[in-house]
Structure 1
Amino acid sequence: MITEITREDFVSFWPTFKAIIVSQTTYAFDANMSLDEAYQLWCTAPLKAFAYKLNGQTLGTYYIKANAMGPSNHICNCGYMVSEATRGQGIAQQLCEHSQQVAKSLGFTAMQFNSVVSTNEGAIRLWQRLGYKIIGTIPNAYKHSKLGYVDSHIMHKQLIEPSS
């Protein structure tokens, strides 16, 4: 079930969140970030954040926010994390599909991912299957902990046509 995230949900997901940022393979977050800093960044700074829960466990989460301000605030940005033990079970897809519905309900017309690490092939395949296109590649944008500098992609999907 996907619900708006609570602090308790985030605290239970914290070991997964911490492992993801420490691995330095997909997210450009400070590996030394505290739980409180992460909660602020992921749950309170964005417009909304959600948790995917099953049997009382938080197995995944996403946030949604405007990608930019003013005349570009009709495009949103989201970030997704899923526990390693449950990857490949469709949770990220459910989170992304949910986020698209939330985006439309909030008045966003498109969704953009600003930095999808090129070596995150599973995520790229999923986003493409869900209709996202790579609209740009930033050379050497991410310093991967094992591979060194790798490219990052900007991915975009039009959700609804904007009205004038």
Structure 2
Amino acid sequence: MLIREATAGDWPVIWPFLRAIVAAGETYTYPRDLDEATAREMWMLTAPGRTVVAVDESGTVLGTAKMNPNHMGAAAHIAGASFMVDPQCGGRGVGRALGEYVLAWARAEGYRAMQFNAVVETNTGAVALWESLGFRIMTTLPEGFLHPTKGYVGLHIMYRQL
């Protein structure tokens, strides 16, 4: 698996799985009816942010991540990131590879820590992955997320020093 900078040509491949994940309403706080133009603007970052894709040996996009400063001013030393893995590519280590890549990027860019602002507590696979990469749940906002089938569930803030 190779992780490389996302290009404009990757967007037509990212958009279908990003749209499906967001529309499912189970893991992201984005509006479920997010339109393509808004999604592209939110996901395809420019400096100081960065967007990458994970591709297989044939160049097929398996997933994507965006990384950016999580805060401004005196808290600009904290990085943030978001991840989307094509559901058809789950279980192949794509999320872990992207997570490790993003942590290395943040260290190289001089960030002191990384914070995830909204990890849905019922997204147990993601929670376990982030914990295995050294993140801790700092707090959980009770009923912070309206899940389409489970109702109101907690929303974790996760953190890791670099």
> TM (normalized to structure 2)?
0.94
Q: Distance in 1 between matches of 2:68 and 2:15?
A: 21
Q: What is the count of residue pairs matched by the alignment?
A: 159
Structure 2 unaligned spans of 5+:
none
Q: Which residue of 1 aligns with 2:144?
A: 141
Counterpart in the other structure of 1:47: 49
1:85 equivalent in structure 2: 88
Work out whether residues 28 and 142 of structure 1, in 8 Å CA contact, stay in contact via their aligned partners in 2: yes
Match of 2:21 in 1: 20
Between the aligned partners of 2:93 and 2:77, the Cα distance in structure 1 is 28
Mapped partners of 1:25, 1:32: distance in 2? 13
Structure 1 alignment gaps of length 5 or more: 160-164
1:66 equivalenced with 2:69 (yes/no): yes
SS in 1 for 2:44: helix
Q: State the SS of the aligned residue for 2:126.
A: helix
Matched, 1:11 2:18: no
The counterpart of 2:60, out of the listed 54, 57, 62, is 57
Q: Secondary structure of 1:44's partner?
A: coil
Which string of whole-angstrom CA distances, capped at 9 and with x for unpartnered residues, describes residues 35-62 of structure 1?
2211110113671010011222211000
What's the CA shift string for 1:121-155, capped at 9, x where partnerless? 00001111111100111011101111111001110
Deviation at 1:31, TM superposition (A): 1.8
Name the CA distance, whole Å, in 2 between partners of 1:57 and 1:34: 24
Instruction: Tell me if the contact between 1:11 and 1:35 (Cα under 8 Å) persists in the aligned partners.
Output: no
> Structure 2 CA distance, aligned partners of 1:31 and 1:138?
21
Which residue is 2:156 aligned to? 153
Q: Counterpart in 2 of 1:162?
A: none
What letter corresponds to residue 48 of structure 1 in structure 2? R
1:115 counterpart (105, 113, 118) = 118
Over the aligned positions, Cα root-mean-square deviation in angstroms equals 1.1
Confirm or deny: 8 A CA contact 1:7 1:39 kept in the other structure.
Answer: no
User: Matches of 2:39 and 2:131 in 1, distance apart?
Assistant: 28
Q: Matched residues in 1 for 2:34 and 2:3: separation?
A: 26
Q: Which residue of 2 aligns with 1:34?
A: 35
2:63–2:86: 8 Å Cα contact kept in structure 1? yes
